[in-house]
Amino acid sequence: MELKDIISVPGLGGLHKVIGNNKNGFIVESLVDGKRTMVNGSQRIMTLVDVAIYTTGDEKPLREILLKLQETEGDKLSVDSKADDATLRAWFKKIVPEYDAERVYASDIRKVLNWYKLLNGKVDFTKAEDAPNEVLASTEDQSKPVQRLHEAHGPKTENAKTTATKTRKKV
């Protein structure tokens, strides 16, 4: 399982794995209890690949944060997600020293902790997400003209009828 397959749906607790889709939305399975539900296509969802943590410089992807947590904490976390805000912030400062304390709330830290508990052992954090396959053409290929088979929609001029038959309108 990869992070790109895991989503968070506001209104549904926990994290979900995308099983399939249909014309109305997605079929997801909860990572907590394994129940399958339908998520409407117009409902807001977040894939975990798109989630990032604010830092003083650029944003850090969630995958890097979870990988750092796995390296430092392992299976047993040294802090509970129900701890007070000051304890959570001090602990998170050890994990991500450059995080932006003004824009990252204690609830965000709790969410990252809960997500780590759910995903640890199920997802490989070391595996980087596949970059979009961008195939760049060489300069030789760009200089060659591209032969177009169809210039526009509709009948081709070589297939057009050349007879002078007139059609009558029905009245």
User: Would you call 168 exposed, middle or buried from its count of C-beta atoms within 10 A (0-12, 13-18, 19+)?
Assistant: exposed
Instruction: Compute the average pLDDT of residues 147-161.
Output: 55
Query: What confidence score (pLDDT) does residue 131 get?
Result: 43
All domains in the chain, ordered by first residue: 3-47 (2.30.30.730), 52-119 (no CATH)
Structure confidence by residue, pLDDT tens digits, 6-49: 988 888 888 999 898 888 888 999 998 889 999 888 888 888 88
Query: What confidence score (pLDDT) does residue 9 get?
Result: 87
Number of H helices, E strands in the chain: 4, 7
Query: What confidence score (pLDDT) does residue 158 get?
Result: 61
Which residue blocks in 73-149 are alpha helix, DSSP H? 85-95, 106-119, 139-143
Structure confidence by residue, pLDDT tens digits, 93-146: 998 999 999 999 999 999 999 988 888 888 777 766 554 434 444 445 555 565
- Locate 21 and state its tokens: 């889709």
Please state, in angstroms and rounded to a whole number, the distance separating the CA atoms of residues 63 and 129.
9
Please state, in angstroms and rounded to a whole number, the distance separating the CA atoms of residues 44 and 52.
17
Query: What confidence score (pLDDT) does residue 22 get?
Result: 84
Whole-model pTM: value is 0.69
Q: Does residue 37 contact residue 44 with C-beta atoms inside 8 Å?
A: no
Instruction: Compute the average pLDDT of residues 139-157.
Output: 54
Instruction: Compute the average pLDDT of residues 55-69.
Output: 90
Q: Does residue 15 contact residue 7 with C-beta atoms inside 8 Å?
A: yes
Please state, in angstroms and rounded to a whole number, the distance separating the CA atoms of residues 106 and 25.
32
* CA-based nearest residue to 60, from 71, 69, 51: 51
- Locate 28 and state its tokens: 């997801």
Query: What confidence score (pLDDT) does residue 135 get?
Result: 41
